[in-house]
Structure 1
Protein backbone atom coordinates (compact mmCIF):
# COMPACT_ATOMS: atom_id res chain seq x y z
CA UNK A 1 0.00 0.00 0.00
CA UNK A 2 2.86 2.36 0.80
CA UNK A 3 4.36 1.67 -2.64
CA UNK A 4 1.03 2.54 -4.29
CA UNK A 5 0.83 5.86 -2.43
CA UNK A 6 4.34 6.74 -3.54
CA UNK A 7 3.06 6.73 -7.14
CA UNK A 8 0.63 9.60 -6.52
CA UNK A 9 2.12 12.62 -8.30
CA UNK A 10 2.50 15.73 -6.18
CA UNK A 11 3.40 19.15 -7.49
CA UNK A 12 1.66 18.78 -10.85
CA UNK A 13 1.36 22.19 -12.49
CA UNK A 14 -1.85 23.27 -14.17
CA UNK A 15 -1.85 22.99 -17.97
CA UNK A 16 -2.41 26.21 -19.91
CA UNK A 17 -5.19 26.34 -22.49
CA UNK A 18 -5.47 28.84 -25.31
CA UNK A 19 -8.13 29.13 -27.98
CA UNK A 20 -6.39 29.06 -31.36
CA UNK A 21 -9.40 29.08 -33.67
CA UNK A 22 -13.13 28.66 -34.23
CA UNK A 23 -14.82 26.95 -37.17
CA UNK A 24 -18.52 26.72 -38.04
CA UNK A 25 -19.58 23.15 -38.76
CA UNK A 26 -22.55 22.18 -40.92
CA UNK A 27 -25.81 22.83 -39.04
CA UNK A 28 -27.83 19.83 -37.94
CA UNK A 29 -31.46 20.88 -37.89
CA UNK A 30 -31.84 23.75 -35.42
CA UNK A 31 -28.48 23.03 -33.80
CA UNK A 32 -25.35 24.92 -34.79
CA UNK A 33 -22.13 23.12 -33.91
CA UNK A 34 -18.79 24.91 -33.72
CA UNK A 35 -15.32 23.37 -33.67
CA UNK A 36 -13.03 25.05 -31.16
CA UNK A 37 -9.32 24.58 -31.76
CA UNK A 38 -7.25 24.64 -28.59
CA UNK A 39 -3.58 24.50 -27.72
CA UNK A 40 -3.07 22.79 -24.34
CA UNK A 41 0.43 23.22 -22.92
CA UNK A 42 1.69 20.70 -20.37
CA UNK A 43 4.38 22.40 -18.22
CA UNK A 44 5.17 19.17 -16.38
CA UNK A 45 7.97 16.67 -16.79
CA UNK A 46 5.54 13.81 -17.34
CA UNK A 47 2.78 13.05 -19.81
CA UNK A 48 -0.75 13.66 -18.57
CA UNK A 49 -3.46 11.25 -19.65
CA UNK A 50 -6.84 12.99 -19.95
CA UNK A 51 -10.03 10.96 -19.48
CA UNK A 52 -12.28 13.81 -20.54
CA UNK A 53 -12.87 17.52 -20.73
CA UNK A 54 -15.92 19.69 -20.16
CA UNK A 55 -15.89 23.30 -21.29
CA UNK A 56 -17.86 26.53 -21.60
CA UNK A 57 -17.26 29.56 -23.78
CA UNK A 58 -18.78 32.88 -22.83
CA UNK A 59 -19.08 36.15 -24.71
CA UNK A 60 -19.50 39.33 -22.69
CA UNK A 61 -19.80 37.16 -19.55
CA UNK A 62 -22.73 35.20 -20.97
CA UNK A 63 -22.10 31.44 -21.42
CA UNK A 64 -23.22 30.69 -24.97
CA UNK A 65 -21.31 27.55 -25.99
CA UNK A 66 -20.64 24.35 -24.08
CA UNK A 67 -19.61 20.77 -24.62
CA UNK A 68 -17.85 17.67 -23.35
CA UNK A 69 -15.42 15.26 -24.93
CA UNK A 70 -13.65 12.05 -24.01
CA UNK A 71 -11.55 12.26 -27.18
CA UNK A 72 -8.56 14.18 -25.79
CA UNK A 73 -5.04 13.01 -26.64
CA UNK A 74 -2.36 12.51 -24.01
CA UNK A 75 -0.73 15.81 -23.11
CA UNK A 76 2.97 15.22 -23.76
CA UNK A 77 5.48 16.56 -21.25
CA UNK A 78 6.73 20.09 -22.02
CA UNK A 79 4.72 20.29 -25.24
CA UNK A 80 1.67 22.07 -26.60
CA UNK A 81 -0.91 19.59 -27.81
CA UNK A 82 -3.46 20.68 -30.41
CA UNK A 83 -6.98 19.62 -29.44
CA UNK A 84 -10.22 20.20 -31.34
CA UNK A 85 -13.52 19.99 -29.49
CA UNK A 86 -17.08 20.61 -30.63
CA UNK A 87 -19.47 22.90 -28.84
CA UNK A 88 -23.17 23.51 -29.26
CA UNK A 89 -24.90 26.85 -28.97
CA UNK A 90 -27.29 27.53 -26.09
CA UNK A 91 -30.20 29.28 -27.85
CA UNK A 92 -31.49 30.98 -24.69
CA UNK A 93 -28.05 32.38 -23.95
CA UNK A 94 -27.70 33.57 -27.54
CA UNK A 95 -31.02 35.41 -27.13
CA UNK A 96 -29.62 37.03 -23.95
CA UNK A 97 -26.47 37.99 -25.87
CA UNK A 98 -28.52 39.56 -28.69
CA UNK A 99 -30.48 41.50 -26.08
CA UNK A 100 -27.20 42.57 -24.43
CA UNK A 101 -25.87 43.96 -27.71
CA UNK A 102 -29.18 45.60 -28.61
CA UNK A 103 -29.14 47.55 -25.33
CA UNK A 104 -25.51 48.64 -25.62
CA UNK A 105 -23.46 50.05 -28.43
CA UNK A 106 -21.27 47.33 -29.92
CA UNK A 107 -17.63 48.31 -29.59
CA UNK A 108 -14.84 47.14 -31.86
CA UNK A 109 -13.95 44.43 -29.33
CA UNK A 110 -15.93 41.85 -27.37
CA UNK A 111 -14.67 39.93 -24.38
CA UNK A 112 -14.68 36.15 -24.19
CA UNK A 113 -13.90 33.56 -21.57
CA UNK A 114 -13.06 29.88 -21.92
CA UNK A 115 -13.41 27.62 -18.88
CA UNK A 116 -12.62 23.93 -18.88
CA UNK A 117 -12.37 21.07 -16.44
CA UNK A 118 -9.76 18.45 -17.34
CA UNK A 119 -10.43 15.02 -15.82
CA UNK A 120 -7.25 13.00 -15.44
CA UNK A 121 -6.60 9.45 -14.26
CA UNK A 122 -7.92 8.25 -10.91
CA UNK A 123 -4.69 9.22 -9.11
CA UNK A 124 -4.67 12.83 -10.27
CA UNK A 125 -7.39 15.29 -9.28
CA UNK A 126 -9.38 17.19 -11.91
CA UNK A 127 -8.05 20.62 -12.82
CA UNK A 128 -9.90 23.72 -13.90
CA UNK A 129 -8.29 26.01 -16.45
CA UNK A 130 -9.50 29.23 -17.98
CA UNK A 131 -8.56 31.86 -20.51
CA UNK A 132 -9.98 35.32 -20.98
CA UNK A 133 -9.40 37.80 -23.74
CA UNK A 134 -10.89 40.03 -26.36
CA UNK A 135 -11.86 39.42 -29.94
CA UNK A 136 -11.41 42.35 -32.30
CA UNK A 137 -14.39 42.77 -34.57
CA UNK A 138 -13.57 43.70 -38.14
CA UNK A 139 -16.03 45.88 -39.99
Structure 2
Protein backbone atom coordinates (compact mmCIF):
# COMPACT_ATOMS: atom_id res chain seq x y z
CA UNK A 1 0.00 0.00 0.00
CA UNK A 2 2.85 2.36 0.89
CA UNK A 3 4.61 1.70 -2.44
CA UNK A 4 1.43 2.62 -4.42
CA UNK A 5 1.28 5.94 -2.59
CA UNK A 6 4.95 6.64 -3.34
CA UNK A 7 4.50 5.70 -7.01
CA UNK A 8 1.43 7.92 -7.29
CA UNK A 9 3.30 10.88 -5.76
CA UNK A 10 6.24 10.29 -8.06
CA UNK A 11 3.94 10.14 -11.08
CA UNK A 12 2.11 13.37 -10.08
CA UNK A 13 5.41 15.17 -9.44
CA UNK A 14 6.81 14.01 -12.77
CA UNK A 15 3.59 15.03 -14.56
CA UNK A 16 3.66 18.52 -13.02
CA UNK A 17 7.35 18.93 -13.89
CA UNK A 18 6.84 17.87 -17.53
CA UNK A 19 3.76 20.10 -17.85
CA UNK A 20 5.63 23.13 -16.52
CA UNK A 21 8.57 22.51 -18.85
CA UNK A 22 6.25 22.10 -21.84
CA UNK A 23 4.28 25.26 -21.04
CA UNK A 24 7.50 27.18 -20.52
CA UNK A 25 8.76 25.98 -23.90
CA UNK A 26 5.50 26.96 -25.60
CA UNK A 27 5.61 30.40 -24.02
CA UNK A 28 9.08 30.92 -25.43
CA UNK A 29 7.94 29.67 -28.81
CA UNK A 30 4.97 32.04 -28.87
CA UNK A 31 7.26 35.04 -28.35
CA UNK A 32 9.11 34.36 -31.60
CA UNK A 33 9.70 37.09 -34.11
CA UNK A 34 8.33 36.26 -37.56
CA UNK A 35 10.76 35.07 -40.20
CA UNK A 36 11.77 37.53 -42.89
CA UNK A 37 11.40 36.09 -46.37
CA UNK A 38 12.46 37.79 -49.60
CA UNK A 39 12.52 36.54 -53.16
CA UNK A 40 16.23 36.35 -53.97
CA UNK A 41 15.85 35.19 -57.56
CA UNK A 42 13.75 33.42 -60.15
CA UNK A 43 15.16 30.96 -62.68
CA UNK A 44 13.23 29.27 -65.51
CA UNK A 45 12.67 25.51 -65.38
CA UNK A 46 11.39 23.16 -68.07
CA UNK A 47 7.58 23.00 -68.12
CA UNK A 48 5.01 20.70 -69.66
CA UNK A 49 2.57 21.77 -72.36
CA UNK A 50 1.19 25.23 -71.66
CA UNK A 51 2.48 25.59 -68.11
CA UNK A 52 5.48 27.64 -67.06
CA UNK A 53 7.80 26.56 -64.26
CA UNK A 54 10.28 28.55 -62.24
CA UNK A 55 12.69 27.92 -59.40
CA UNK A 56 11.95 30.64 -56.86
CA UNK A 57 14.91 31.32 -54.58
CA UNK A 58 13.83 32.50 -51.14
CA UNK A 59 16.17 34.15 -48.65
CA UNK A 60 14.82 33.20 -45.21
CA UNK A 61 16.13 35.17 -42.24
CA UNK A 62 15.61 33.95 -38.69
CA UNK A 63 15.73 36.85 -36.19
CA UNK A 64 15.24 34.48 -33.25
CA UNK A 65 17.45 32.95 -30.59
CA UNK A 66 16.64 29.38 -31.70
CA UNK A 67 17.19 27.64 -35.04
CA UNK A 68 14.22 26.71 -37.22
CA UNK A 69 14.37 23.12 -38.48
CA UNK A 70 12.21 22.29 -41.49
CA UNK A 71 11.34 19.26 -43.59
CA UNK A 72 9.49 20.61 -46.62
CA UNK A 73 8.52 23.99 -48.06
CA UNK A 74 5.29 25.23 -49.64
CA UNK A 75 4.81 28.49 -51.50
CA UNK A 76 1.86 30.40 -53.04
CA UNK A 77 2.17 33.57 -55.09
CA UNK A 78 -0.72 35.91 -55.90
CA UNK A 79 -0.53 38.77 -58.40
CA UNK A 80 -3.09 41.58 -58.33
CA UNK A 81 -5.21 39.65 -55.83
CA UNK A 82 -5.41 36.51 -58.00
CA UNK A 83 -3.64 33.16 -57.51
CA UNK A 84 -0.71 32.95 -59.93
CA UNK A 85 1.82 30.26 -58.99
CA UNK A 86 2.29 27.57 -56.36
CA UNK A 87 4.88 24.99 -55.50
CA UNK A 88 6.27 22.59 -52.93
CA UNK A 89 9.68 21.13 -52.19
CA UNK A 90 10.77 18.22 -49.97
CA UNK A 91 13.90 20.19 -49.07
CA UNK A 92 15.20 19.75 -45.51
CA UNK A 93 17.39 21.99 -43.49
CA UNK A 94 17.83 24.48 -40.70
CA UNK A 95 17.69 28.24 -40.66
CA UNK A 96 20.28 29.01 -37.97
CA UNK A 97 19.55 31.25 -35.00
CA UNK A 98 20.12 34.87 -36.02
CA UNK A 99 21.03 33.53 -39.46
CA UNK A 100 19.69 32.98 -42.93
CA UNK A 101 19.34 30.33 -45.61
CA UNK A 102 18.50 30.38 -49.31
CA UNK A 103 15.85 27.85 -50.37
CA UNK A 104 14.82 26.92 -53.89
CA UNK A 105 11.14 26.09 -54.48
CA UNK A 106 9.92 25.00 -57.92
CA UNK A 107 6.59 26.71 -58.75
CA UNK A 108 4.14 26.12 -61.56
CA UNK A 109 2.15 28.77 -63.39
CA UNK A 110 -0.79 27.22 -65.20
CA UNK A 111 -2.02 28.43 -68.59
CA UNK A 112 -5.26 29.53 -66.87
CA UNK A 113 -3.36 31.67 -64.37
CA UNK A 114 -1.43 33.32 -67.17
CA UNK A 115 -4.65 33.96 -69.11
CA UNK A 116 -6.39 35.46 -66.04
CA UNK A 117 -3.46 37.82 -65.45
CA UNK A 118 -3.37 38.86 -69.11
CA UNK A 119 -7.13 39.51 -69.17
CA UNK A 120 -6.90 41.46 -65.92
CA UNK A 121 -4.13 43.66 -67.27
CA UNK A 122 -5.93 44.15 -70.59
CA UNK A 123 -9.28 45.08 -69.01
CA UNK A 124 -7.86 47.25 -66.22
CA UNK A 125 -6.24 50.63 -66.32
CA UNK A 126 -2.83 50.96 -67.89
CA UNK A 127 -1.18 50.85 -64.46
CA UNK A 128 2.44 49.89 -64.19
CA UNK A 129 1.94 48.72 -60.59
CA UNK A 130 1.55 45.02 -59.82
CA UNK A 131 0.52 43.98 -56.31
CA UNK A 132 1.92 40.69 -55.04
CA UNK A 133 1.41 38.45 -52.03
CA UNK A 134 3.65 35.52 -51.09
CA UNK A 135 2.56 32.94 -48.53
CA UNK A 136 4.33 29.81 -47.50
CA UNK A 137 5.33 27.43 -44.79
CA UNK A 138 8.45 25.67 -43.62
CA UNK A 139 6.99 22.33 -42.55
CA UNK A 140 8.09 20.03 -39.77
CA UNK A 141 10.13 20.87 -36.74
CA UNK A 142 9.14 20.38 -33.14
CA UNK A 143 6.07 22.63 -33.36
CA UNK A 144 4.84 21.76 -36.87
CA UNK A 145 6.83 24.35 -38.79
CA UNK A 146 6.69 28.07 -39.33
CA UNK A 147 4.56 30.12 -41.71
CA UNK A 148 5.65 33.23 -43.57
CA UNK A 149 4.06 35.88 -45.75
CA UNK A 150 4.99 39.05 -47.53
CA UNK A 151 3.12 41.48 -49.72
CA UNK A 152 3.79 44.63 -51.60
CA UNK A 153 3.80 46.12 -55.06
CA UNK A 154 6.24 46.38 -57.89
CA UNK A 155 6.30 49.54 -59.98
CA UNK A 156 7.40 48.85 -63.53
CA UNK A 157 9.26 51.73 -65.15
CA UNK A 158 7.36 53.68 -67.77
CA UNK A 159 10.33 55.24 -69.44
CA UNK A 160 13.85 54.13 -68.44
CA UNK A 161 13.78 54.13 -64.67
CA UNK A 162 14.60 51.37 -62.24
CA UNK A 163 12.28 48.95 -60.49
CA UNK A 164 10.98 50.10 -57.12
CA UNK A 165 9.91 47.79 -54.30
1:126 maps to 145
* Distance apart, 1:52 and its partner CA: 1.3
TM-score, L = length of structure 1: 0.84
* Among candidates 82, 100, 104, match of residue 62 of structure 1: 82
Distance of aligned partners of 1:103 and 1:110 in 2 relative to their CA distance in 1, 3 Å threshold: same
Larger relative CO (CA 8 A, sep 6+): 1 or 2? 1
Which structure shows the bigger proportion of residues in helix conformation? 2
For 2:56 and 2:106, the matched residues in 1 are separated by 6
How much is the aligned-residue C-alpha RMSD, in angstroms? 2.2
1:127 is displaced (CA, Å) by: 2.9
Task: Provide Cα deviations, 1:27-83, integer angstroms capped at 9, x if missing partner.
Answer: 344332111111111112121110112110011011110011121421111012111
Which of 14, 18, 21 lines up with 2:41 in the alignment?
21
Which has the higher Rg, Structure 1 or Structure 2? Answer: 2
8 Å CA contact 2:75, 2:105 repeated in 1: no
Structure 2 gaps of 5+ residues are 1-14, 159-165
Which residue of the partner structure matches residue 32 of structure 1?
52
Which secondary structure does the structure 1 equivalent of 2:91 belong to?
Answer: coil
CA distance in 2, matches of 1:21, 1:133: 16
The range that moved more, 10-19 or 39-48, is: 10-19
Check the 8 A contact 1:48/1:120 in 2, yes or no: no
